Every structure is written in structure tokens, then in C-alpha cells.
Amino acid sequence: LNTFKPGSRLPSDDVRHVAVIGLGLIGGSLAHALARANVNVVAHDTDPATRERAAEVPGLSVAGDVAGAAAGADLVVVAVPLPAVADVLAGLDGYRGLLTDVVSVKAEMRALVSAGPATGTYVGAHPMAGSDRSGFDAADPDLLVGCPWVLCLEEDTALPAWCAVARLLTGALGARVVPATAAEHDAAVARISHLPHVLAAALAEAAGSGDASALARTLAAGSFRDGTRVAGTRPDLVAAMCGGNAAALVPALEEAIAHLSEAKDLLTGPDPIPALTGWLRAGYEVRARWPAAAGEPYEVPIEPDALLALGRRGGWVTAVSPTDDTATAVEPDPR
């Protein structure tokens, strides 16, 4: 799926000048990637040492504060962890352009924007890419190329703003733009991003406790390595995204706990091997069919209902027409 060639398509005509606020892994990777796509990028980070290193990246300008970065921007991207968002929004007071973000929790982010000062036309977003590394030094312009990128569509979202951001992301980064409401996004990522982080931490801790823990860690191989990879992410970053999405994560976690308790009961029951075989099948079927192949591209109208229905079927937008009338859509092949 990821066949986009960086630089092969012109970025959006609406968005020529982007401010990226926050130069961690995602903000740093985005700033790099947009600069490489010949978008004018001005970046800001609260850390002076990070600003110094960012200033050395070709095509990247650096501003000493949020307002300075936003001055003259067509689009401001908020790329700080959730607990730091309110301060950034305060610094954007009076900004009148497009506003988006990369924060992994969308309902909470939307509430912060609504409650904050007037800061332009907001379209919530979340690129589905990451790494167990963090910070600007781990930034990589290829990290975000071709990734699924949720672009929130609510009743009050301005469609021209949605189209402008979608055109930039598809054009400059080859993103697969997935239309979804904030609530739909939060329910989905609770299951495929936040729950994996919580389970990985529990699994890593299990190898550190018990009577045979030094032996266990020496015997640990591929299943432990992959199952715990994201447990190596900074705990405060994981807690910010999981805690910020607690309303959606808690039911998913309760479901997983109930499912694991069922496995425990089967293991202590009369015929554990056939019983557990049946229990394992549901997860096996999901994993064996993932990732799904992509179907043939087709056109959908730029209308909220049609776009949200596309997102609910697991589909995405690969391009927006110059007139904002239609989008090129792809969805998983049902075969």
C-alpha cells in the first residue's frame, strides 16, 4: 500500500506555509517530511536545544515562541502531548487560519479547542504511526509517509477546511486520510493502540516477577520481544494517551480482562487443549486477515455522510479533487 514517492505530487495550493508546534517524534517527523515536500515550515518547541537542532534541518525555520511560529501560517499543527495542549492554544489566541493536530485522543482535544481562545478553523487529526523511540532525535521524514491519518469530521466541521488539510496530507505525504468522528476514532484507537500499550506493560512486568525471572528473561525470544516492544515507550507519554482516552479504553480493557478470565477458566477446566483451541480462534481469524488488501479506487462525493460511511467500512481517501466535490476512495477488499 505504501507506494507513495515523496515529492512526486504537488502539495496543496491552499496550504503553502505550515507551523508545527512541538518537535517530538511525530512533530519532528512531520516538519522534516513537509520541508522535504517543499512546504514552508516554521517549527517551535519549548526546549531550546531541540530548536537548535531543528534549525540545522534544510528547509526548516524555527521560531522562539508559538505566536511567532504561527505568524503568516496557513495551517498550524499542534504536535505536543495532551497535557501541554492548553498552553499551546493560549499562545495561538488570535490566529485565524487552519488548525489541526496529531494528538492521539480526539474527543478530549476537541473539547480543549472548544473551551480555549478562538484559534482558527479546527480539523482534528491523528496519524497512525509511531515508534518506541521518542523525541526529535528519533524523528524520521519517512515515518508518516503513506500512513493512515484520521481526519475528524463532525457536524460543525467546515468541509473546505477538511478538504484543504486532506489535500495537503495526501499530496505531500501520501497519507491515507480516514474520515471519522472523534468518538469513533477514540473507540477504535482504544482497541488497536492504547490496549496494546497496556497489555505490553503487563507482559513485560510478568517477566520481571516470579521465582525464575532471571532465567525467564534469558529464555525470552520472539514472542516476548514483539509482545513487549511498546512497553519500552516512555511511561509518561503512554499514560497521557491512555489516561486521556480513559472513557473509551476502560470498556475495551474490561472486555479483554473478561476474555482472559475465560481463558483461565478453560485452562483449569476438564479438557483445556480443545477448549483453548476454540477460544484462540477468534483472535486468529482477525490476525490472519490483517492487514486487508486494498480494493480498486473509486470516487465518493465530499459529503459528511458518504465520507463517514467510508471510514466506518474501513476505507480511506487518497486524493481530493481540486474543486472539493469528490474524493478518490479505497476500501479493504472484502474477498
Footprint of a copy of itself on residues 129-168 (CB under 8 A)?
129-131, 147-148, 150
What is the footprint of a copy of itself within residues 264-303 (CB under 8 A)?
264, 267-268, 272-288, 290-292
Of 39 and 188, CB closest to a copy of itself: 188
Does 309 bind a copy of itself (CB under 8 A)? Our answer is: no
d(CA 330, CA 71): 36
Among 47, 229, 300, 324, binds a copy of itself (CB under 8 A): 229
Among 7, 117, 235, 297, binds a copy of itself (CB under 8 A): 235
d(CA 135, CA 25): 5
What is the footprint of a copy of itself within residues 34-53 (CB under 8 A)?
none
Pairing of strands 326-330, 316-320: antiparallel
What is the footprint of a copy of itself within residues 60-79 (CB under 8 A)?
none
Of 162 and 316, CB closest to a copy of itself: 316
What is the footprint of a copy of itself within residues 198-227 (CB under 8 A)?
198-224, 226-227
Among 76, 151, 188, 317, binds a copy of itself (CB under 8 A): 188
Whole-angstrom distance between the N-terminal and C-terminal Cα of the chain?
17
Among 7, 38, 312, 333, binds a copy of itself (CB under 8 A): 312
Among 94, 260, 301, 333, binds a copy of itself (CB under 8 A): 260
Q: Which long-range contacts (CB under 8 A, 24 or more apart) does 305-311 make?
A: 307/153, 307/179, 308/153, 308/179, 308/180, 308/181, 308/184, 310/179, 311/153, 311/178, 311/179, 311/180, 311/184
Closest CA to 159 of 96, 210, 101, 98: 98
Which residue has cell 479506487?
297
